[in-house]
Structure 1
């Protein structure tokens, strides 16, 4: 293959026909073809989110985040203490022990861990399990798909950084991860598990939040039975999922002020109960009450941790939603309003229970003063709906990220908001979640049983986040070893203690999130494993340069007018399905572009850095290769039709290729390219004349090439999509046969095809089928 020049500016201009001077930096004029040859190690890096936004914007985002980020953790006072004392309160001081546990748990996990530590581990502003995984993948070569390119380091969000001699610990861990195949599989599996557990949160959050809020109506009327409460909850859940197609922008943001009212309600009610019933519960600040609680109750105290941990629900959603705001805005809103309001709510409930031990199973609504009961009930129901909406939206985002990295089957991703990035709707997942929520609500019927399952999902995700964070602290942040040890001993120990407690309730509902996780992990593993097999097959059977030259000089092939865009997942080289195509159709379009859609391990790729072109020799064949790079939160075709963007960027590439080769020729010895010159003729006049002649010839060649491209564009664009039927090879074992021939085939046939995912026009699409023996 011939060497080619990277489109060094990668500058997308709306008015592409204007001639704008370009400045090409010499460090980007590489004379290698990384789309054909495996790249070397690409050291990763990390850019911490800056705080350069104006304070007015930060405060505005802080106010806006109240109604979007904190719905889940804000509604936890509805059910946390009730789940802790399902069998009643046996000793009055147990209330102080539980309150102390809640106070310190809220301080350590949501506030200290997530708001002040984990939020700093964002991926250029985006959070979540895949954000942590992407940071590790960028810093160490631990991805399982061999599609790395040296030019990826030029994407502005990559922010690569070379380790130095003072960072031995980070370099040692990075080397170990890159050399260990087990570590690569383990990191990917842990990411899948964390994602699956977050999807499980998307099931349990609506169930427990809405059921707890609706259950408050029992305090106003004795005619409201448990069955009626359950069916009202089911009706609200069905309504909630049916309106998801309108988008979070219209559903969640419309009711965002309600959460602000909710936090005011629970804070004022907490203060009222605190001063009216028993202000002495302030003693719970003393952690000795925790020790006394465990001494007094022993095993039962340990079991009750499964209910106490519910006070932290929504912490992971807080991290996942950081992409819509800034780190500082979330820190301000959490510290100024959310944390104090939740603390006051729990303190008020403890004060009420200290005088009324008999209401331990439902302290929230029992402690509401009569005059504000109905307003609180209405706001509680609306807040529960908003909290559910936030978690459902987060689930859609996680599915989108999984899909982008080849870890989830092809499903339709609908971007529901032009104003807010990342607001997506996934129809298949939405209805699957709806059925799961209805099933869980009808099956468990009480918040106590749902809480057992919910706690399992919450703690598992927290533990996995901490594990990834430790790797980031070592490799990327290069934190002091004492800080890392302190984090593991304090936060890690607390989370493992809670994890042991929720595991004890495995047979009381804790099995359900694991069942959901196993189901989703199985789907993700099947798809990702066969996806990697297909990629390696194409890599091993790609079309060689010699074979391409044979096709070019073969007189049996005719050239027909038009532009053909051939889609493939292969980044390095030309896919084998092209050889299958020309063997059956001896015709080539006047211009052919092989397009690979690639997801980089970063959240977003700037539009002007999205396209990466290479030429295919010989030049008169007019064949190009193009890698279209997206981040895992980017929308496809969000601004203009893909084919129009492709043609405009290809023109830019041809022009930059001409300018780059001219610069190299002017800066280097061009005698070998233009022929050996006589030593006597090396004078200024001859050199200038030769340079002008060469420049004119190249400019004419460039203009002819652009003219051919424009004529092909005018003649029409044909989209060639490869339809790969994968079957297990003859020597494959029974496990591999089941994986490929049954499990993967079932998923592929029952989900959307690639032309629907990439929005390829049906009237100009041609499918080319080929069977891969894996």
Structure 2
């Protein structure tokens, strides 16, 4: 809350409305500060913009070029294995090729192009994409979060607000109300978010395996001396190199990979066009969807089962959305429409033309259809492209891990921001190497692409289906889309995705269990962490220090004030945490200035730096105790290499003290009156600022809770296992919270506390 120019903002008693008032109307009146730091929740109105960040065209074109190397490697290398995965039993009717080509074409048009490029990308959260971005948008509009950390002040963050339409409010309000009132729905949304996140991470494991194995396996066309073991171990070596270079960041990797993928798309479209003209140009008939109907009539159940192969033509599509934070909406739209879409469509059409004359080559369609002189150049580029294909889901995995970590749904890991030029480009070392070991295990264990393909299809379709579910909620509640358009979306896109989902689930026992098992492990880890995270917050909320208790502590004559400034970290947003009372009981001394800091993640991608710190004074005023909520978005860097966290906090505290003088005195002098009172206020501010400076000079101490979490004696067996064993195992083996802010060890003081949950 600040005074700016001639206007100030006055909060109404209910904290829900604000109105600008001129200075001359405030003379001699008390200002009422908007304050909800002791409230448990607040409404989220909004009139801002949650869409993609504005970037100049030069940068957009650079990012479009970069995105070719990062986003499209996966979907671009799908021609390596789609026809082989679809016609696993061989081609029985030549027109079946037209049916499959028609299915592939319309699948690419409906899902990657129509759904993702032109609809889902618009549901980004301030330029960030992925499952958590959709969940965050919903949480920001409706109070469906499971922790009561929402505050009225949060809605004043500039990019917190949502741009809402004026019509169709009743339907949106009804849906919003039902979501907010139903605890089961809140848990369901969180469960769906965690499931989607786990499946995207599963994509990050399976993509490298199938892409690299498919490309390296092409060497068999040149020589029969190469064994399956050689192909497997060569693939493992390539995978190790791929994950090792991730630490250099998306920016450098993107510029390195983009030219290679551009050459790959050039080869795909060129060879596709050559085969199309040479063998059978009549495959263009596949544009007629009647060939899809004929294909299903002829093959019935086998046609339905073959959808598990055709769905691989859109693998990596989720990367379009998950990686949008690394680029921009416009850059991805440009690169998809101008390069990726025409290239892969031409590749599939060319392979179909070749297969119309060579039905028996379907198991090795890609390499068999390459003209002889181009075999070795294409093989080399294919291997390089398969390496790059993995990059899309790996970088998408890093982004989604960062989002889930910030919202308390993932154990603490190190987030490295790899680019100073572009926001949102991150690297997660622990996850990177876990993915590497998982990829090596799957490649060595499965050895062929057939079972990996079955597993891959399940992961791909599950994520797409969950994205559609969230998107429908956003259409109704936030965009307020015409209900007829919503129904049309569900009927068209929903039907296609349901058919694919039913097909891939049929192959559950043929490798399809792998992503579900992997997702189950990740979901258990994420649920355990989030469950205890919520329980700890509610424990602190239930045991927070009351204002009366704080006055008793202040009145204690045995309490000694020592020079210095103490920063006391807590997760509690509302009130003084119980650890403070325990600290005073054991160490009856308080520093001359004490600041309780709560690190809070808002359901938005970024919080502007000048809106990040929210201070309030703890009464009585003589204590010189302050509360500070430090608000981050889920893609904000928690430590700035240029300016330390504690320096920024102290500077903001001084700004608050100056500002608070006007509000606490209630005097804004415009006519030369009340000069005495104003002068006294200025003197008090100067004294307090001097006290803060002396405290800093005497030394800044960081007090961090060293918590021990145990299940209460009344807890059941399941709760004891989750808290005493699962959570504490994760906690012992992961990064400590104070390391996230690079607090100097010499100025760190840990205060022990036991949470009985």
Normalising by structure 1, report the TM-score. Answer: 0.93
Q: Does 1:694 align with 2:677?
A: yes
Question: Aligned in 2, Cα 1:61/1:596: closer, same or farther, shift over 3 Å?
Answer: same
The 3-state SS of whatever aligns with 1:273 is helix
Give how far 1:61 is off. Answer: 3.2
Which digits, 9 at most, give the CA deviation of each residue in 1:412-456, with x for residues without a partner?
222222222222222221221111111111111111111100000
Question: 1:56, CA displacement in angstroms?
Answer: 4.2
Would the aligned equivalents of 2:198 and 2:519 in 1 still touch at CA under 8 Å?
Answer: yes
Given that 1:153 and 1:160 are in contact with CA atoms closer than 8 Å, whether structure 2 keeps it comes out as no
- Shift in Å at residue 109 of structure 1? 0.3
Structure 1 residue aligned with 2:653: 650
| 3-state SS of 2:593 partner | strand
Q: How far, CA to CA, are the matches of 2:439 and 2:180 in structure 1?
A: 40
Following superposition, the deviation at residue 86 of structure 1 comes to: 2.2
What is the rounded CA distance, in whole Å, between the counterparts of 2:397 and 2:52 in structure 1? 27
Unmatched 5+ stretches in structure 1: 1-5, 10-20, 669-683
Per the alignment, residue 111 of structure 2 pairs with 109
Superposition pairs for residues 6-155 of structure 1, below 5 Å? 6=1, 24-26=8-10, 30-43=32-45, 47-49=49-51, 53-155=55-157
1:703-743 Cα distance to aligned partner (Å, 9 max, x none)? 11111001111111111000111111111111111111111
* Cross-structure match for 1:245: 247
User: Contact 1:89/1:358 (CA < 8 Å) preserved in 2?
Assistant: yes
Answer whether contact 2:276 2:353 (CA < 8 A) is retained.
yes
Stretch deviating more after TM superposition (389-398 or 452-461):
389-398
Q: Name the SS for the 1:559 alignment partner.
A: strand
Contact 2:71 2:391 in 1 (8 A): no
CA shift, 1:49, in A, is 2.8
Question: How far, CA to CA, are the matches of 2:342 and 2:45 in structure 1?
Answer: 43
Question: Any unmatched runs of 5+ in structure 2?
Answer: 12-17, 19-30
Instruction: Give the CA deviation at 1:46.
Output: 6.4
Provide the residue aligned with 2:751 in structure 1: 768
SS in structure 2 at match of 1:556:
coil
8 Å Cα contact 1:602/1:631 also seen in 2: yes
| 1:382 matches 2:365 | no
- For residues 350 and 163 of structure 2, what CA distance do their matches in structure 1 show? 50
**Residue 341 to residue 634, structure 1, CA distance change in 2 (3 Å):** same
Q: Which residue of 2 aligns with 1:640?
A: 643
Once the two structures are superposed, the pairs formed by residues 34-433 of structure 1 within 5 Å of their partners are 34-43=36-45, 47-49=49-51, 53-160=55-162, 166-433=168-435
Deviation by residue 1:317-356 (Cα, 9 ceiling, x = unmatched): 1111112333222222211111100100100111111111
Conserved? CA contact 2:52–2:125, under 8 Å:
no
User: Partner residue of 1:526?
Assistant: 528
1:426-575 correspondence to structure 2 within 5 Å: 426-575=428-577
Note the C-alpha offset of 1:54. Answer: 4.3
| Conserved? CA contact 2:2–2:8, under 8 Å | no
> Secondary structure in 1 aligned to 2:363?
coil
What displacement does 1:65 show? 2.2
1:390 alignment partner, SS class: helix
Retained in 1: the 8 A contact 2:654–2:689?
yes
Shift of 1:572: 0.2
Give the drift of 1:118. 0.5
Deviation at residue 217 of structure 1 after TM alignment: 1.2
Instruction: State which drifts further: 592-601 or 755-764.
Output: 755-764
CA contact (8 A) 1:45 1:476 kept: no
Instruction: Decide whether the 8 Å contact of 1:163 with 1:171 is kept in 2.
Output: no
Q: Deviations over 1:36-62 (max 9, x none)?
A: 222332235662536965444433433
Q: What is the match of residue 604 of structure 1?
A: 606
Q: Deviations over 1:520-571 (max 9, x none)?
A: 0000100101110000000000011111112212121111111100000000
**Alpha carbons 1:43, 1:141 under 8 Å: kept:** no
Distance 1:238 1:56, change over 3 A: closer
Do the aligned residues in 2 keep the contact of 1:46 with 1:135 (CA within 8 Å)?
Answer: no
Distance 2:298 2:537 in 1: 60
Number of the residue aligned with 2:15:
none
Corresponding position of 2:704: 721
Q: 1:553 to 1:737 in 2, by over 3 A?
A: same
**Count of residues paired in the alignment:** 738
